[in-house]
Structure 1
Amino acid sequence: MERPQTRLDEPALYDGVLSRRVFAFIFDWTVVAVLSLVAGVLVFFLGILTLGLAWLLYGAIFPLVGLVYTAFTLGGSSQATPGMQIFGLKIERLDGKPLDPLWGALHSVLFWTGNIFLTPFILLIALFTNRKQTGHDLLLGTVVVRNLR
């Protein structure tokens, strides 16, 4: 028995998604790096006030900034990071529900975990899936599509 066709089965939603995802990632990574630099300056001055205790946060700045950035942009009303918005993408859950910040954070954690332990080659899965889904998309039941509105 075949599953019924849905809006997410429309091939136009996936035209150019992979290259757009790469450019969106580069943009978002750059934004997170700049925000992390700003946070690093704040931690520096906070470290002076706390006699160096806050400086223990330096190693966690980039991951924390990236996690918060992704959680509240993917899990926000636009369902896309700023980079994804610029390149005309958004993320959707296969069950039709909107992503919340927890799902956005989980998406980010699974992306980085997969890349750290399985190398970036894990992303090649997207070349072989009909909806251009990566491993973390498949695990979470999400798909990145063109925002054709």
Structure 2
Amino acid sequence: MRPIPPPLGADAADADGVPDGVMVKRVIAFFIDVLCIALLYLPVLLVLSLASLLSLGILSPLVAIILALVPVAYHSLLIAGPWSATFGQRMMDLAVRSISGGRPSLGQAAINAITFYTLGSITGWVITLVALTNRQRRCLHDFLAGTVVVNRSGGTRLVFGRRTSAEDTLFTGDKDA
């Protein structure tokens, strides 16, 4: 049986309403995720290299496409999953939420990941500077996907609202939470 994620508390914020430490935690989580993705690349690259070799190079063009999809799939599937966070975000006690306060959909997670990697590679990660211009510390890809990254535990309300009863049931198993 899979462990049930802990309840998502409201986002801890300082006196000005700015989420405590989210920016620093996001940077550290990103580097943890880079290591996780690198570990995922090893078996994928081995399988793809073997397939390319056995096909006498016919499958070689697909290698680049599939390798580009690995980080997108990693972020999309984990952000849309029950924890609403990548492994790095989970280690840093962060969660990704829809601006309505719920768990992001797979579409939102995919938009978030695709725009992060696409715009990040084009702008040289300048897109993350947008987070310095707004109180919720949302990056450009967060705005485009309709998501916000919050501290998983904390003492104040979420900026965008309270959890729904469906989320209470999902996270705690208690229908009366």
Verify same fold: TM over 0.5.
yes
In the other structure, the counterpart of 1:51 is 56
When residues 52 and 124 of structure 1 are mapped into structure 2, their CA distance, relative to the original with a 3 A threshold, is same
Letter in 2 for 1:122: I
1:148 aligns with 2:153: yes
1:129 aligns with 2:134: yes
Letter in 2 for 1:144: V
Select the residue among 106, 109, 125 that pairs with 1:120: 125
Higher relative contact order (CA 8 A, sep 6+): 2
1:11 aligns with 2:13: yes
Task: State the Cα distance separating 1:119 from its structure 2 match.
Answer: 2.7
RMSD: 2.1
The aligned length equals 143
1:20 aligns with 2:25: yes
What is the TM-score when the length of structure 1 is the normalising length?
A: 0.85
Please list the CA deviations of residues 18-72 of structure 1 after superposition, one character each: whole Å capped at 9, or x if unmatched: 0110011111112112211221110111123323222222222432111111111
Instruction: Structure 1: state its 5+ residue gaps.
Output: 1-6
Select the residue among 27, 32, 37 that pairs with 1:32: 37
Contact 2:112 2:145 in 1 (8 A): yes
Select the residue among 84, 87, 111 that pairs with 1:82: 87
Contact 2:96 2:148 in 1 (8 A): yes
How far apart, in 2, do the equivalents of 1:56 and 1:8 lie?
46
How far apart, in 2, do the equivalents of 1:71 and 1:60 lie?
16
Task: State the Cα distance separating 1:135 from its structure 2 match.
Answer: 0.9
Letter in 2 for 1:109: I
Instruction: Structure 2: state its 5+ residue gaps.
Output: 1-8, 155-177
How far apart, in 2, do the equivalents of 1:54 and 1:137 lie?
35
When residues 116 and 48 of structure 1 are mapped into structure 2, their CA distance, relative to the original with a 3 A threshold, is closer
Task: State the Cα distance separating 1:145 from its structure 2 match.
Answer: 0.5
How far apart, in 2, do the equivalents of 1:48 and 1:124 lie?
43
Please list the CA deviations of residues 74-119 of structure 1 after superposition, one character each: whole Å capped at 9, or x if unmatched: 0111000010000100011112332122221110111122223333
In the other structure, the counterpart of 1:62 is 67
In the other structure, the counterpart of 1:73 is 78
Higher mean alpha-carbon deviation, 133-142 vs 83-92, is at 133-142
Higher mean alpha-carbon deviation, 71-80 vs 36-45, is at 36-45
Same amino acid, percent of matched pairs:
29
Letter in 2 for 1:38: P
How far apart, in 2, do the equivalents of 1:81 and 1:9 lie?
18
Higher mean alpha-carbon deviation, 133-142 vs 70-79, is at 133-142
When residues 23 and 10 of structure 1 are mapped into structure 2, their CA distance, relative to the original with a 3 A threshold, is closer
Contact 2:11 2:151 in 1 (8 A): no
